[in-house]
Amino acid sequence: MTTAERPPVPGEDVDEELVAALRAVPLLAALPDEAVRHYAARGDALHVAGGGHFAEQGDEQAWFFLLLAGRVEWTRHVAGVDVHVLTHSGGMFFGHEPILLDIAVPVTGTALEPSWAFRFRTEAFWELLASCPEIRRELLSTVTQRAQTLEVVSQHQAKLVALGTLSAGLAHELNNPAAAVRAAVEPLGAALADVSATALRLGRAVAAAGTGRDAAAADAVLDHLDQLRRGSLTAVAPGAVQRADAEDAVADWLEERGVEDAWERAPALVRGGVDVARLDELAAVLPDGVLDDAVAWLTAALEGADVLAQVREGAGRISSLVQAMREYTYLDRGERQHVDVHEGLESTLTILGHRMRGGIEVVRDYGPDLPPVDVRGSELNQVWTNLIANAVDAMDTAGGGRLTLTTRVEGSRVVVDVADTGPGVPEELRERVFEPYFTTKAVGQGTGMGLDITRRIVASYGGDLRVDSRPGSTHFTVRLPGSAGEGADAQVEPG
């Protein structure tokens, strides 16, 4: 903001150009000439260059302005984005909303061109409001209109932020299994080619060694190898120490019998559950001169199976994430229905999983026999998202902590408690946490609408939302009627 001219002292001669400009403002049209001159001496004239600010979001000190010339754009900074709210031009007024509502300035006013304004001192504003009914009605009516405009903009941005959170979470969660599938697919072609090549060599070796032996003996060799391959599908992976010991033993066994690439083949054999005892059994049924080809084929087959298992696991993880997203959003199910609270909490944890890996422990204390609740599932999951995300954000500032989700039944009510070990909400701010536009986060990091939206959703189903907070322990508790209960009157109470 540019430096204001020296404030006039009551009783001094005032700038006649300023008085004429004030007379032209529609809001002051009902004032007699002497009243306009009186107020001209009880404020500051401001000249703000294009790009300068009349007020900034988060300012605790609010001023009432009359815009005499120029244009001012008002924006709200949310999640790194400046969202347009409205634009004022010469003759309009602004700044009274935070004074009347006793809130911090919710938006930033930027001059779009060189602008001239008159700023009322606080006592002069209240005097103006009390002295003229027409002005009082106009100011109070615009408070409602502009608050509704800001609420629509903020709610829209809050939904975009929530959508961005879900998109980022899903993208992050999908990235790991997708990368695993991609990494596994690359060697899959080579593994399959290796299986084919070694199978051909093994077949020729068995045929050559089988001269003088019956076909049943050859079939027994191939059956034994196939059983070893199939056994890999149910093999239990040993621990790191046991695996290393088993690999050494298998490699030594292979080397002693002249098998090529013994140390390269041993890890795949051990992963597939093949140990020295099984190799002894295999050697006992093999004709002379076939062991090397048999081990080569078995190794290739086990490596191929391992690659396929990785692809299967990654694809399964992707499928489960897509299912979690479908359950979270309740696609194609917009009507009220019986909703399982535990399923909603779990799908929300899945979607927000990427945000809970920085030292945040999740504790589930779910009560038994929890009845369903009669709600729109996507709306209820928005409640869980807002509460859990807020808890995680609070603990992020402390470098981690514990998120505890507790569910229980109280009479006909289903109770869900979301607790965190963050720094807590200061006592002097606790009464305001459900107010629209109020946030304890830094400017631009929160919409100030999350808890307000959460409160409204809970209340719309006859439920109540309460907060109890102290350093190291913050609880947001939701109570909703069970599907068999009747919705009681909604309540919103700080704890």
HSE of 317, CA atoms in CB hemisphere, 13 A: 19
Judge if 372 and 447 occupy the same domain. Answer: yes
Residue where one domain finishes, among candidates 113, 131, 149? 131
CA–CA dist 60, 161 (Å, integer): 25
Judge if 308 and 376 occupy the same domain. Answer: no
Residue 455 CB contacts under 8 Å (≥ 6 apart), including other chains = 434, 465, 492
- Length of the chain in residues, anyone? 495
Q: What CATH number does the domain containing 452 carry?
A: 3.30.565.10
Report which of residues 189 and 105 the model is more confident about: 105
CA–CA dist 345, 354 (Å, integer): 15
Average predicted confidence (pLDDT) for the chain? 77
Is 151 within a domain? no
| pLDDT value at residue 140 | 84
Burial of 369 (0-12, 13-18, 19+ CB in 10 A): exposed
Judge if 296 and 394 occupy the same domain. Answer: no
Judge if 364 and 472 occupy the same domain. Answer: yes
The long-range contacts involving 436-443, CB below 8 angstroms and separated by at least 24 positions, are: 436/147, 436/151, 436/154, 437/103, 437/106, 437/150, 437/154, 438/103, 441/393, 443/57, 443/58, 443/77
Is 100 within a domain? yes
> Does residue 155 carry a pLDDT above 70?
no
How distant is the alpha carbon of residue 402 from its chain centre? 17
Judge if 239 and 290 occupy the same domain. Answer: yes
Beta-carbon neighbour count of residue 30 at 10 Å? 12
Sign, CA torsion 333/338/343/349: positive
Judge if 36 and 175 occupy the same domain. Answer: no
- Both tokens assigned to 313: 């696991």
Are 401 and 367 in contact by the 8 Å Cβ rule? The answer is no
Judge if 191 and 317 occupy the same domain. Answer: yes
| CA distances to 329, 336, 376 from 332, in Å | 9, 12, 11
| CA distances to 161, 163, 234 from 168, in Å | 10, 8, 36
**In this structure, are strands 373-375 and 413-420 parallel, antiparallel, or unpaired?**
unpaired
Q: What is the DSSP letter of 482?
A: B
CA–CA dist 135, 131 (Å, integer): 8
Judge if 250 and 363 occupy the same domain. Answer: no
Highest mean pLDDT: which range of 85-89, 207-211, 223-227: 85-89
Mean pLDDT for 115-124 is 89
Q: What is the dihedral of CA 164, 165, 167, 171, to 10 degrees?
A: 130
Judge if 371 and 254 occupy the same domain. Answer: no
Is 295 within a domain? yes
Residue 89 CB contacts under 8 Å (≥ 6 apart), including other chains = 67, 70, 71, 72
| pLDDT value at residue 423 | 86
> Does residue 445 carry a pLDDT above 50?
no
Q: What CATH number does the domain containing 41 carry?
A: 2.60.120.10
- Per-residue pLDDT band for 115 (boundaries 50, 70, 90) equals very high
Residue where one domain finishes, among candidates 268, 295, 321? 321
Judge if 307 and 386 occupy the same domain. Answer: no
Are 304 and 192 in contact by the 8 Å Cβ rule? The answer is yes
Is 287 within a domain? yes
> Does residue 463 carry a pLDDT above 60?
yes
Q: Which domain holds residue 450?
A: 336-494
Mean pLDDT for 169-195 is 66
| pLDDT value at residue 169 | 61
Judge if 367 and 243 occupy the same domain. Answer: no
Mean pLDDT for 131-137 is 88
Is 394 within a domain? yes
Give Dmax over CA atoms of the chain in angstroms.
Answer: 128
Number of domains observed in the structure of the chain: 3
| pLDDT value at residue 290 | 79
Is 142 within a domain? no
CA angle (75 as vertex; 454, 437 as ends), nearest 5: 25
Is 150 within a domain? no
CA–CA dist 464, 68 (Å, integer): 47
- Per-residue pLDDT band for 48 (boundaries 50, 70, 90) equals very high
- Both tokens assigned to 329: 């959003």
CA–CA dist 492, 143 (Å, integer): 24
Is 146 within a domain? no
Residue where one domain finishes, among candidates 131, 156, 191? 131
Q: What is the dihedral of CA 423, 429, 430, 432, to 10 degrees?
A: -140
Judge if 350 and 421 occupy the same domain. Answer: yes
Q: State the DSSP H helix or E strand holding residue 403, giving kind and residue range, or none if neither.
A: strand 401-410
Which segments within 79-171 are labelled E, that is strand?
Answer: 81-89, 93-94, 108-111, 115-120
- The angle, 0 to 180 degrees and rounded to 10, between the axes of the packed helices 33-40 and 122-131 is 160
